[in-house]
A and B are shown apart, each in its own frame.
Chain A
């Protein structure tokens, strides 16, 4: 078992990638078989991921040398506490694939089914590979896999606006990928290595030069675009709102988190607190941008009528929370940033669960009624009580109402801002949360408390294959909130190791 679990981080990546590559082949004769294949592959990946996580928490991080070459000569896969996000990715992947079984035929023809499932598996594989790699260039390669599949998945439907949204995303996303690549190249030029741990060591040795600072700026710009931070968020609303709903769930739940994971890797694994480069001025600036992002996202969401557009803007707002949390760090006293880091990291998990619930619910509504505007969907709560009830739970959760999952991040980030001496961020956060709640209450009102739309007749509850994933996710929203110590216990070592503290570090309130 120990021998086997050692291989798991890389096994889950290749399972998803090879599974994706095989999907068109296994479904040559029967297109619909691609669903079962994708389902099987994602289950397998989930199994491998669980093994890896189990090993992580019993025996510590896994360092895996591809082809047996020791780093820095070969590529290292490094499964550490931040990589636990892969658990979420594979689990959510299963749910999204199950959900797609019925839903996706609503948006695409049967002809394209294998293509769709291939892309879903590849985007999952890209994200998993991205999150577990310990090599800077490998990071870029997986970044491209997931970005390309993301662009394609948005444009897979025949809708008119999708190609435009996808193109916008493609241009911004490619520029950001290239700026990440330039950052990698600069670091390589300065240090002569591509392995993250080795770069960190050699940066210490050579000391900071201008190029190292510029590389940091390039990384931040690149990953900010991927995460949709305020001035570079323009691609997100269209892309996330127009994509087919399961894809929106993946994009909003997981893909934007890739930007966060990338920043964590670069800032806290490569540059490192207490390292040669004092990057707190950058993170401070990022904190301010994050505060603006929270408000901007919440503000624009207020004026939307399209239900998925609202969710997309609220994703921007929530990315602001996460970035605010992870940017509250002090260079010389790492323990002061701990609580904020906890808040940010825990919201990476919680927002993924909550937002995918919301998008999948929206998908169920669209699937059944064909409407996506709030004004058309009014009064649907009486006809689809389970879907709308789940949507309500998720909406309360994202507004941070206790005891749901969204509250934990609020609590920790507020504690973090107080600890850090920047309560102004907490004000932005609370104001943002109020605005968020204001438009989610608009949705709840429309669904439950308004006169039903007469043109919606004979609508019943969504099919089982769509209900099961969203109910599981809704239970997740509640469990992650009520039994918050479970996710927190998982995330605690991640936050501590990011800040260079021992993984068992536990301050009061941590």
Chain B
């Protein structure tokens, strides 16, 4: 009975949504308003204006950089949320299921992970730094960075990671995302321009391109390092179990 009502209500909602979807302009056509209004400028001038061949990166970091600042703040908020609910790990009081497991981890896995992790981190750095030119960017690279820490933890145990990545440094790195934006954005502000402006004509006009690259790089690294550390911290907070 209750299910029937829910299904009926949901069906009505479906009809509502479908009626909206049907009335939308046809998908995939270049004449759509979504494509013809502001996109042409992005595609035509984006490389020049935003300083990135990857237009998406240009939009994320430059045209809509403020959104991305909000986005990295959302990740930070998520970490703070996890910490608020579960609390930080502490080696004195916590251990993890990996450490408590009675099954010996295979040598093969250990060896492979030991070998691979440096390359994974290198790959992550490549993705972070190369975001302006090819698919990738801070978020993707950060996720890979975080994944490498998770792989390490799963094979070598909780305590190793916690010791190798001490809380003191992680606390700083976690906030790197918003801080990167702040550092890059506030320079424009001091020069009398709007927040998050990367082109500052009043300072060294000849090196504009370089300055912009540098600032975007700071942001990318901030996002990547921040994202990676946050993923690692979230994982550690969730993985921990209390010692008896």
* Residues of chain A at the chain B interface (Cβ within 8 Å): 3, 7, 10-11, 14, 17-18, 20-22, 24-25, 28, 64-69, 72-75, 77, 111-112, 115-116, 118-119, 122, 125-126, 129, 135, 137-138, 141-142, 144-145, 148-149, 151-153, 155-156, 163, 166, 186, 188-193, 202, 206, 209-211, 213-215, 217
* Residues of chain B at the chain A interface (Cβ within 8 Å): 16-17, 19-25, 32-39, 41-42, 62-67, 69-71, 73-74, 76-78, 80-85, 87-88, 168, 171-172, 174-175, 177-179, 182, 185, 188-189, 192-199
Beta-carbon contact of B19 and A138 below 8 Å = no
Q: Which residue on chain A has the smallest CB distance to residue B198? A: A67
Q: A66-B196, A122-B76, A145-B70 are in contact. Are A214 and B36 (CB under 8 A)?
A: no
Beta-carbon contact of B37 and A202 below 8 Å = yes
Q: A67-B66, A141-B70, A191-B33 are in contact. Are A151 and B81 (CB under 8 A)?
A: yes
29 pairs of residues in contact across A and B, judged by CB atoms under 8 Å: A18-B182, A21-B175, A22-B179, A24-B174, A67-B198, A68-B194, A73-B42, A75-B65, A77-B66, A112-B87, A119-B80, A122-B73, A122-B80, A125-B73, A126-B77, A135-B67, A149-B80, A149-B81, A152-B85, A186-B24, A189-B32, A190-B24, A190-B25, A210-B20, A210-B22, A211-B20, A211-B21, A214-B16, A214-B20
A72: chain B residues within 8 A (beta carbon): 37-38
A163: chain B residues within 8 A (beta carbon): 85
Kindly list 14 other residue pairs between chains A and B, CB separation below 8 angstroms, not including A152-B81, A193-B37: A24-B171, A69-B62, A73-B41, A74-B63, A75-B67, A115-B84, A119-B84, A138-B66, A141-B71, A186-B24, A189-B34, A192-B36, A210-B19, A210-B20
Bound state CA distance, A64 and B37, in angstroms? 21
| A-B interface contact total, Cβ < 8 Å | 183
Beta-carbon contact of A21 and B194 below 8 Å = no
Beta-carbon contact of B37 and A22 below 8 Å = no
Chain A interface SS verdict (over half):
helix
B88: chain A residues within 8 A (beta carbon): 111
**Min distance, Cβ B68 to any Cβ of chain A, angstroms:** 9
Bound state CA distance, A504 and B69, in angstroms? 36
B177: chain A residues within 8 A (beta carbon): 21
B178: chain A residues within 8 A (beta carbon): 17-18, 21
Beta-carbon contact of A25 and B25 below 8 Å = no
**Min distance, Cβ B139 to any Cβ of chain A, angstroms:** 14
**Min distance, Cβ B204 to any Cβ of chain A, angstroms:** 18
**Min distance, Cβ A143 to any Cβ of chain B, angstroms:** 10
**Min distance, Cβ B222 to any Cβ of chain A, angstroms:** 11
**Min distance, Cβ B157 to any Cβ of chain A, angstroms:** 23
Beta-carbon contact of B73 and A192 below 8 Å = no
Beta-carbon contact of B84 and A156 below 8 Å = yes
Q: Which residue on chain B has the smallest CB distance to residue A148? A: B77
B37: chain A residues within 8 A (beta carbon): 72, 191-193, 202
Bound state CA distance, A148 and B82, in angstroms? 10
Bound state CA distance, A151 and B32, in angstroms? 39
Beta-carbon contact of B74 and A145 below 8 Å = yes
